[in-house]
Amino acid sequence: LMAKGKKQASSSSVSSSSDSTVFKYKRGETVLCFHGPTAYPAQILDFRILYENEGGDVGPQYQVHYKGWNKKWDEWVSESRILKMTEENMAAVANTKSSNAGPSNVTAVSTNPESMENNNDINSIASDNNKSTKAPILKGRGPKNVVGIRVFKRARKNKISVNVSNQGMLRLIDEWQWNTRNQLLVHPLPRPNTVDQILEEFCNFQIEELKNSGRNHGRISKTQETLIREQVAGVREYFTESLPIYLLYRFERQQYVEMTEKYPKRPTSSIYGAEHLMRLVVKIPDLVHGVQMKEQKAEALEKLFNDLAKFLETHCQLCFAKQYEFAAPSYIRVIWEY
């Protein structure tokens, strides 16, 4: 109940008492927020509580803006994806690779350990696509519990998860550090083994696997083969569409501009290779999250990308770059002029 004479908080605001007793982070606070394989500085824009969310998290959620990113990247995240901005947490995030323990090594120094939904494996860094451990449920429903907090209900949506090995996740963390901290670039581009070539091998591998499975006795129908080829072509399309928006680090964007200008008639899937294809594999659950699709299609998509993840790790180790190249001073100047 509000004191007489005081206005009740609107649906878009939270009282200071609610702010301190329910939420760990305040509006305007700078935090570390996990997005993909690592955490980035972000600012808290708003917060809310979900009392019901079929198939997803309930409890406190925060709207964050990743500093230096376009506002189109602003998103609502669960409290488990956020860390206090402290030197200890920054060091722990940076040293995740060396600890070989994923986000669990952050627990000792964080008030709210990031686990991408509380997994104790480095696979959980990929995103909250792998597993979903619900935040503590706030009993009851609606604004009666907390004055002025917006309440949302979400329709059930299909989620997919992709399993990537510890080694694969460590490679992604290495890439992030080499690129964002050491100012190194994948070299050379175009890659000796491009996404197109890798997907062609993957397609043939999938066809042979199906031929040799069960009662097929080395033969499959033309329809089955066509379906596999269409699925792999869909992966190529996913890659081409998502690369410039979702799969490049900030430091790589100028390289992308240079490559597309140098090879204007060449699709990006014939320029980039396993490094960026693996980023798509890890990111795909986020890209399709919230997209309404039939359960059968979601299951097929999940299987396809899990098969691709396994193929990349077991058949394409030599496709990943063994060395990165230092960016030229002129390149760095262009980057900082953005």
Structure confidence at residue 134 as a pLDDT band (50, 70, 90): very low
Co-location of 172 and 320 in the same domain? yes
Lowest mean pLDDT among 28-32, 216-220, 241-245: 216-220
Averaged pLDDT for residues 141-147: 35
Co-location of 284 and 194 in the same domain? yes
What percent of the chain is predicted at pLDDT more than 90? 37
Co-location of 299 and 211 in the same domain? yes
Examine the pLDDT at 125 and tell me if it is beyond 70. Answer: no
| Number of separate domains in the chain | 2
Task: For residue 243, give the CATH number of its domain.
Answer: 1.10.274.30
Q: Does residue 159 fall inside a structural domain?
A: no
Tokens of 219: 């033969």
For residue 274, list its beta bridge partners. Answer: none
Averaged pLDDT for residues 212-240: 89
Mean pLDDT of the chain: 75
Task: For residue 78, give the CATH number of its domain.
Answer: 2.30.30.140
Lowest mean pLDDT among 33-37, 43-47, 100-104, 166-170: 100-104
Examine the pLDDT at 260 and tell me if it is beyond 60. Answer: yes
Q: Does residue 331 fall inside a structural domain?
A: yes
Of 75, 97, 125, the position where a domain reaches its end is 125
Of 76, 95, 125, the position where a domain reaches its end is 125
pLDDT (tens digit per residue) in 234-258: 999 999 999 999 999 989 999 999 9
Of 125, 155, 174, the position where a domain reaches its end is 125
Averaged pLDDT for residues 286-297: 84
Model pTM? Answer: 0.56
Co-location of 325 and 194 in the same domain? yes
Co-location of 244 and 321 in the same domain? yes
Q: Does residue 104 fall inside a structural domain?
A: yes
Q: Does residue 157 fall inside a structural domain?
A: no
Co-location of 113 and 228 in the same domain? no
Query: The dihedral of CA 315, 271, 203, 300: what is its sign?
Result: positive
Q: Does residue 299 fall inside a structural domain?
A: yes
> Which pLDDT does position 41 carry in this prediction?
82
Co-location of 179 and 320 in the same domain? yes
Co-location of 191 and 324 in the same domain? yes
Q: Does residue 119 fall inside a structural domain?
A: yes
Higher pLDDT, 129 or 43: 43
Q: Which domain holds residue 221?
A: 166-336
> What is the three-state SS of the chain?
CCCCCCCCCCCCCCCHHHHHHHCCCCCCCEEEEEECCEEEEEEEEEEEEECCCCCCCCEEEEEEEECCCCHHHCEEEEHHHEEECCHHHHHHHHCHHHHCCHHHHHHHHCCCCCCCCCCCCHHHHCCCCCCCCCCCCCCCCCCCCCCCCCCCCCCCCCCCCCCCCHHHHHHHHHHHHHHHHCCEEECCCCCCCEHHHHHHHHHHHHHHHHHCCCCCCCCCCHHHHHHHHHHHHHHHHHHHHHHHHHHCCHHHHHHHHHHHHHCCCCCHHHCCEHHHHHHHHHHHHHHHCCCCCCHHHHHHHHHHHHHHHHHHHHHCHHHCCCCEEECCHHHHHHHHCC
> Which pLDDT does position 87 carry in this prediction?
74
pLDDT (tens digit per residue) in 42-94: 899 999 888 776 656 678 899 999 887 778 888 998 888 898 888 777 777 76
| Most confidently modeled range among 55-69, 104-118, 135-149, 221-235 | 221-235
Q: Does residue 97 fall inside a structural domain?
A: yes
Lowest mean pLDDT among 165-169, 190-194, 295-299, 333-337: 333-337
